[in-house]
Structure formats: C-alpha cells, structure tokens
C-alpha cells in the first residue's frame, strides 16, 4: 500500500526536512515542468531543468529520478491562483498532479501562490535583452526558481 503524500503548509514542509535535504520547486505548465533546486541550507533557489511533458507516468519517472539524485526532501508546487484570488481549472490541474504523484511516492509537498511568476521572469529576461529563443529555453525553470525563492524568502513571515 502506498501512503499518501501529505500536503503541508510551507512552514510544516520546511520543518519536515532533514538537515541536508533540498527542496524542488515546480512550475507546472501544460507543455513543460520547470524545475528549480534549493541549496541544502534552503536559502537560494536555482533554476535547474525543464521536463517536456508527455504522459504523467513518464513525467513522474523523470521527476522522481531527479528527487532521488538530488536528495530532495519536499516539493514546492506553484499554484496558479487567479488574480481575484479564486482557484480556476489550472489550480485543479496542479492539485491533480500532486494527488497522482502521491500514489507513487510518499514525500511532503506545499503549494505556493505563483501569480505573475512567469510574467515577472519574462519581464526580467526582456530587460536583460534576452533573445526570444533564449527566453523560451529558460523561462519555465526560472519561473520555478521564482516560486521556490518566494517560499524561501518568506520563511520569517510564516505563522
């Protein structure tokens, strides 16, 4: 029997990790999954990789291989809340992904509001005068880093 992956608050997620475990931030898109890794002190999020989405089973295999190789103790999934604060179909898709992943691996996850993460990253890349091709190559993993860094930076604000 596979245990269910617990959904935790950000502070609970951070408290559940052993000393040298990293966090893996995910920006779940319809075509790609952007990935970012924290350092072991969980201070800095770094863009890591992008998984081109195919079928859930293959996507999960790639993701869990990275989890194992990088000693990841928890996942931070960007939750694409609407600007008015409501959860639309994209949030349901993220929650479904987490539920399906729970059937495969018992690992804690937390959601982090990702409103405007992709647009903020795109704006930064435009200001840096990145080419369209370069922006397409890095935007998803940079958005994942933006999401993960948001959680890491707000640790002191957790109640």
Share of the chain above pLDDT 70, in %: 80
pLDDT tens, 51-88?
999 999 999 999 999 999 999 999 999 998 888 888 88
Mean pLDDT by 10 residues, the chain (159 residues): 69 92 95 96 95 97 97 95 86 94 91 72 58 62 91 73
CATH of domain 10-155: 3.30.420.140
- Taking the C-alpha atoms of residue 110 and residue 151, their distance in angstroms, rounded to an integer, is 9
Residue 105 neighbours by CB under 8 Å, 6+ apart: 2, 5, 64, 67
pLDDT at residue 113, as a whole number: 87
Output the CA torsion 6→115→34→150 (10° steps).
-70
């Amino acid at each position: 029997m596979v245990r269910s992956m617990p959904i935790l608050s950000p502070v609970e997620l951070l408290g559940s990790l052993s000393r040298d475990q990293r966090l893996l931030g995910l920006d779940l898109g319809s075509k790609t999954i952007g990935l970012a890794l924290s350092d072991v002190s969980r201070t800095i999020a770094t863009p890591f990789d992008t998984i081109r989405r195919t079928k859930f089973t293959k996507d999960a295999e790639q993701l869990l291989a990275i989890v194992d190789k990088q000693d990841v103790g928890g996942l931070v999934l960007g939750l694409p809340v609407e600007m008015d604060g409501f959860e639309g179909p994209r949030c349901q898709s993220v929650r479904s992904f987490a539920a399906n992943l729970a059937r495969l691996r018992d690992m804690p996850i937390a959601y982090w509001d990702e409103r405007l993460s992709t647009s903020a990253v795109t704006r930064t890349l435009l200001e840096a005068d990145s080419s369209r091709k370069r922006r397409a190559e890095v935007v998803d993993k940079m958005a994942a880093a933006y999401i993960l860094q948001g959680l890491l930076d707000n640790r002191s604000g957790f109640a």
